[in-house]
Amino acid sequence: MLTASKAPPMPRAFIWRRLHSLFGLWLAVFLLEHLLTNSQAALLIGDNGHGFIYYVNILKNLPYLPAIEIGLLGIPILMHGVWGIQYILKGKANSGTSDGSKPSTKKFGRSHAYTWQRYTAWVLLFGIIAHVGFMRFYLYPNVVNEGAQSFYFVRLGLDSGLYTVASRLDVELYDQKQIKLKQTQLAEKSSKEGVFNAVEDLQEKDGSEKYSEYEDKLLTQAQNFRFQQDYLNALKKRPINQGQVIAVAKNFGAATLLTVRDSFRNPITCALYTIFVLAAVFHAYNGLWTFMITWGIVLRMRSQKKAVNLCIGVMCVMAFLGLAAIWGTYFVNLRT
């Protein structure tokens, strides 16, 4: 009696390569969204950054945002990066000259693309770590909530156009003197009205007595004091010098827009981000061509050439959006 032979198990390396490819596609889609949103930061003069603020606020208000960031960004980037490092270490470029001991195919464009895919991977490895640390943690706004209203605090360098921009975005700016004045006023008000001492007496009550209208008013006033204290603490959380201010925005998008504007005042930062963005765009959309080959989407030579042209076209568009976010914002700073 004949028995059907079992199919051999799928090689683990094959599975990881496919996952690496899928994660790369997902990150290329994210890069498209990210650069489309960021490019609107340069439209500060025309529409007060409305598009940037609108889309950033939508993303910020997504439910379970930390889980989304970890599950849909952190894990794919980590897995793609870990497996990609193995590719870098094992893969050998063949687009340079050779003494005959190894193959050299420098006349082929795809050989050079293979080499640059590895170069840009190193740029991205360090660039993503620096970018996330810089934007997501170091410059990330502090927040204070008062009921349904939130206030976002960011530290900015002072320049001639900042007060005009802040006025248009409905943002308050505090320098060192204003912060000290606010601290003095709050201390005097708290001492004069003695709200917190009265509230402590109320909290020591039995609990069986009903609150009077006066007591209810007192508790409301105490909550307002606590909010003002939290507000002051947020102003003081990041020390500022003579050439800096703390900006307080009423929405996350406006605070982020001011952070982007402040970051791209420096041409060195702009230059570093230019390298980072160009590396990301090339790596993502050259990888898109590799994805189409890997998954059998384009098989014939003619369709592969068309796919290359398509990917180059997408690269150019994405590079334009990325550079608009950087240098457009830089030159907007000079005009505001």
Give the pLDDT confidence of 149-173 residue by residue, as tens digits: 999 999 999 988 899 999 999 999 9
322 beta partners: none
Count of alpha carbons within 13 angstroms of residue 126, beta-carbon side: 7
- At residue 83's C-alpha, the angle toward residues 119 and 12, to 5°, is 140
Structure tokens, 99 = 């003494």
For position 94, what pLDDT does the model report?
A: 72
153: closest CA among 162, 144, 164?
A: 144
| Domains along the sequence of the chain with CATH | 12-96+103-141+264-335 (1.20.1300.10)
For position 119, what pLDDT does the model report?
A: 92
Residue 238 is given by DSSP the state S
Contact 318, 32 (CB under 8 A): yes
For position 166, what pLDDT does the model report?
A: 92
| Helical axes 176-193 vs 213-237, angle rounded to 10° | 160
Give the pLDDT confidence of 205-221 residue by residue, as tens digits: 555 556 577 667 777 77
Q: Produce one character per residue of 308-329: b if its CB has 16 or more CB atoms within 10 Å, e if not.
A: beebeebbeebbebbbbbbbbb
Q: Produce one character per residue of 11-38: b if its CB has 16 or more CB atoms within 10 Å, e if not.
A: eeeeeeeeebbbbbbebbeebbebbebb
Number of other residues whose CB lies within 10 A of the CB of residue 211: 12
For position 209, what pLDDT does the model report?
A: 57
For position 196, what pLDDT does the model report?
A: 58
* Residue 153: φ, ψ to 5°: -115, 125
For position 45, what pLDDT does the model report?
A: 58
For position 61, what pLDDT does the model report?
A: 94
* Residue 5: φ, ψ to 5°: -80, 145
249 beta partners: 152
For position 108, what pLDDT does the model report?
A: 73
Structure tokens, 199 = 């509230």
Q: Measured in whole angstroms, how far is the alpha carbon of residue 48 from the centre of its chain? A: 20
Contact 60, 252 (CB under 8 A): yes
- Prediction pTM value: 0.86
Q: What does the pLDDT profile of the chain (336 residues) look like in tens digits?
A: 455 556 667 677 778 888 999 999 999 999 999 999 999 888 765 677 899 999 999 999 999 999 999 999 999 999 999 998 888 888 777 776 766 666 666 677 778 888 899 999 999 999 999 999 999 999 999 999 988 899 999 999 998 889 999 999 999 999 999 999 999 988 887 766 555 555 555 555 555 556 577 667 777 777 888 889 999 999 999 999 999 999 999 999 999 999 999 999 999 999 999 999 999 999 999 999 999 998 989 888 888 889 999 999 999 999 999 999 999 888 877 666
For position 270, what pLDDT does the model report?
A: 96
For position 210, what pLDDT does the model report?
A: 60
Contact 257, 53 (CB under 8 A): yes
Contact 13, 263 (CB under 8 A): no
Q: Give the neighbor-by-neighbor strand order of the sheet with 172-174.
A: 142-146, 149-157, 244-249, 172-174
| DSSP character string of 248-268 | EESSHHHHHHHHHHHHTTSHH
- At residue 273's C-alpha, the angle toward residues 106 and 70, to 5°, is 100
